[in-house]
Amino acid sequence: MIYRAAVAALVLLLLVLQYRLWIADGGVAHTHRLHQQLDDMRAENQAMQMRNDALDAEVRDLNDGTAAIEARARTTLGMVKKGETFYLVVNP
């Protein structure tokens, strides 16, 4: 009788520990979700770093010379130099 109760208690303890291992917070499933979130954040950070690098290069280019400012004025504002002819090509 005592042995059955001890075995039942040990089986119950084993089930509780298995639940904590596989399902509860800190278990395998939770750890897998955290690793997935970490991978997603690393990818997002890498994309943001590339964007920041491009913006930093553009700022340095605008601070250093007039060529970048001129190109920006041409594309954004549609400006044309003296003596140049502006052509607008419209696709049908």
Environment class of residue 61 by beta-carbon count within 10 Å: exposed (0-12), middle (13-18) or buried (19+)? middle
Query: In this predicted model, what pLDDT tens digit does every residue of 13-45 receive, in sequence order?
Result: 888 888 777 777 778 888 899 999 999 999 999
Is it the case that residue 54 has pLDDT exceeding 90? yes
What lies within 8 Å, CB to CB, of 22 at 6+ separation is: 28, 29
What lies within 8 Å, CB to CB, of 17 at 6+ separation is: none
Contact 29, 23 (CB under 8 A): yes
Look at residue 37 in the predicted model and tell me its pLDDT. 97
Please report, for the chain, the start and end positions of each structural domain, with discontinuous segments joined by +: 2-77
Residue 4 and residue 92: Cα distance in Å, rounded? 88
Tokens linked to 67 = 């060529």
Look at residue 43 in the predicted model and tell me its pLDDT. 98
The model carries a pTM of 0.52
